[in-house]
Chains A and B, each alone.
Chain A
Amino acid sequence: MDVALARDWMRAAAGLIAADADRLTQLDSAIGDGDHGVNLNRGFTAVVAALEKSPPETVSEVLVKAGTTLMSRVGGASGPLYGTALRTAGKALPAGAEVRPADLVAALHAGLDAVRKLGGAAPGDKTLVDAYAPALDALEKAVAEGAGPAGAAEAAARAAEAGAEATVPLRARKGRASYLGERSIGHQDPGATSTALIFRALADVS
């Protein structure tokens, strides 16, 4: 991945989140407070603006800047979680204009670890982890098997989407949805859904 691809990834993610903002908000209305799309759209719009204002020169800087911007613009649980994921992944990348697929996999692992530490969520808790973890597994497997960037990113996107859909029958154990107890069952998790959009954006530009 080079710096142009990283920027395109963030721009594509912003586009998909803007297009699906209403759907994310509706999913959040069912089990949360109905602002996930609004908040994430505000954050990613700011990410695109920040990347245009002073274009970073490394992939690492793109992800760190995107994460920092999300953290300082989104609020709620999404801001710290998505912000931490991207910032930590960015900081884990080697410097330089280009990073190898294995570097990206390792960096995204660091991001997932940081998210799990901050939010305390495990797979199956009906959170963004339920899309992020399987996407990363699929990405790692595809890279190990020698898939090209496009194929590996496509595998990750599909795994994230399947992971998001698999949250429907789960009972939420973290976040605001957890207060609904059994009533959270039957609704797709908005955080897992937006995470799937971010991996879909990576596949679209790879």
Chain B
Amino acid sequence: MKKFINDPADVVAQALAGVAAAHPELRVDIDEQYIVRADAPRPGKVGLVSGGGSGHEPLHGGFVGPGMLDAACPGEIFTSPVPDQILAATKAVDGGAGVVHIVKNYTGDVMNFQLAAELATDEGISVETVLVDDDVAVEDSTWTAGRRGTGATLLVEKIAGARAEEGGKLAEVAAIGREVNTHSGSFAYALTAGTTPAAGRPGFDLPADEIEAGVGIHGEPGRRREKLRPARELVHSALDAILDAKQFPGPVIVLVNGLGGTPLIELYLIYGEVAKHLEDRGVRIARRLVGNYVTSLDMAGMSLTLCQATDEMIRLWDAPARTPGLRWGA
């Protein structure tokens, strides 16, 4: 393992110290481990808190700022945050209008956010939870913990964040977040496994000519192993899986997302194939985003996310955002 670290045990805390130094517009609590807008809490504004394991940067800490999240709780690498941490972040952003928790559907995230929401409710804070479960690679929910939350998390944070920024009420912010999730589907491929600093070696071995299809964002193997094929064919398979799982009659927002170890030249090549294939299938692209946004450490791979967007979602997508990882119109 070759990584720019000092000690595997201190990676998250030392990275947070770096975030604090690089972004004076954010406030970072190194002890409780959360990142919050420097102007929080904002009276009367619904607070948005998300979080999950570290290793998915810029998700979630990189999306804290006006127009998106009010706070993020990074857990240990690939390990969800703990209830105390989520509660501290929730209290830090509560401006009296309630707080929305945006939670990816992974067992640990769900449990820790559930416990934190109970604790926050005990302290008189209204909490609504938006559960993100967009990964269509997981088919049968009676045999699994349900579909995972992956790329659509970014769309939920952007669109619900814009709704909160313009003064939406707690129920409205949660409702648009849930609507985005319901209308989103994602599928990912991994070319290589990621390496966690604690483990020191890749999460799985993969022969040079094989890939993992249907991976999540925690370095775990996917649904099946396949032979590497040209990008065009992989894009077609992934898009077909998404289009088969969900209905996309209207225009879509497309996210072509790198998993941390894939260069932009490949992601743009993929976007070109996505645009062409969607055109062939009669699906209109309203907005698109290409880059590394929801990553899995240094995993080489990519995920595709489609969200069938209403005019309201597109308006909120276009609204200003000013965060370290996503910024436009402001």
Contact = CB atoms under 8 A, between A and B. Distances in A.
A33 B220 contact: yes
A75 B198 CA distance: 15
Interface in B78-118: 78-84, 106-108, 111-112, 115
A33 B219 contact: yes
A80 B111 contact: yes
B160 interface: no
Interface in B155-210: 196, 198-199, 203-204
Contact of A73 (B82, B143, B199): B82
Contacts of A78: 108
Which of A76, A81, A119 has the most chain B CB atoms inside 10 A of its CB?
A: A76
Contact of A181 (B82, B108, B144): B144
Interface string B212-226: 000010111101000
B199 A34 contact: yes
Q: Is the interface of B mostly helix, strand, loop or mixed?
A: loop
A35 B107 contact: no
B112 A39 contact: no
B145 interface: yes
A77 B108 contact: yes
Contact of A35 (B76, B84, B112, B221): B76
Interface stretch (A131-139, A148-156, A157-165, A172-180): A172-180
Contact of B111 (A38, A77, A180): A77
Interface string B27-56: 000000000000000000000000001000
A56 interface: no
Interface string A169-192: 001011110111101000000000
A75 B145 contact: no
Contact of A119 (B106, B107, B218): B107
A118 to B, nearest CB: 6
B77 interface: yes
Contact of B82 (A29, A79, A118): A79
Contacts of B270: none
A125 to B, nearest CB: 10
Interface residues of A, number: 33
Contacts of B112: 75-76, 79-80
A29 B203 contact: yes
A42 B8 CA distance: 13
B199 A35 contact: yes
A25 interface: yes
Interface residues of B, number: 33
Nearest to B141: A178
Contact of B221 (A39, A74, A79, A183): A183
Contact of A34 (B80, B82, B216, B219): B219
Contacts of A74: 79, 82
B220 A180 contact: yes
Contact of A81 (B111, B216, B219): B111
Given A72-B84, A75-B112, A176-B106, A39 B79 contact: yes
Given A175-B145, A178-B144, A179-B145, A76 B220 contact: no
Contacts of A171: 143
A71 interface: yes
Nearest to B135: A179
Interface in A40-73: 42, 71-73
B205 to A, nearest CB: 11
Contacts of B221: 180, 183
B138 interface: yes
Contacts of A32: 220
A35 B198 contact: yes
A33 to B, nearest CB: 4
B198 A181 contact: no
Contacts of B76: 35, 38-39, 42, 75
Contacts of B144: 173, 178-179, 181
Contact of A76 (B79, B145, B204, B216): B79
B75 interface: yes
Interface in B229-281: none
15 contacts: A29-B203, A32-B220, A33-B196, A33-B203, A34-B199, A35-B196, A75-B81, A76-B80, A78-B108, A79-B112, A173-B144, A176-B106, A178-B144, A181-B144, A181-B223
Given A77-B80, A80-B108, A119-B107, 20 more contacts: A25-B198, A29-B203, A31-B220, A33-B218, A35-B76, A35-B78, A38-B76, A38-B198, A71-B83, A75-B75, A75-B82, A76-B80, A77-B107, A80-B111, A175-B145, A176-B106, A176-B107, A178-B143, A179-B144, A180-B223
Interface of A: 25, 29, 31-35, 38-39, 42, 71-81, 118-119, 171, 173-176, 178-181, 183
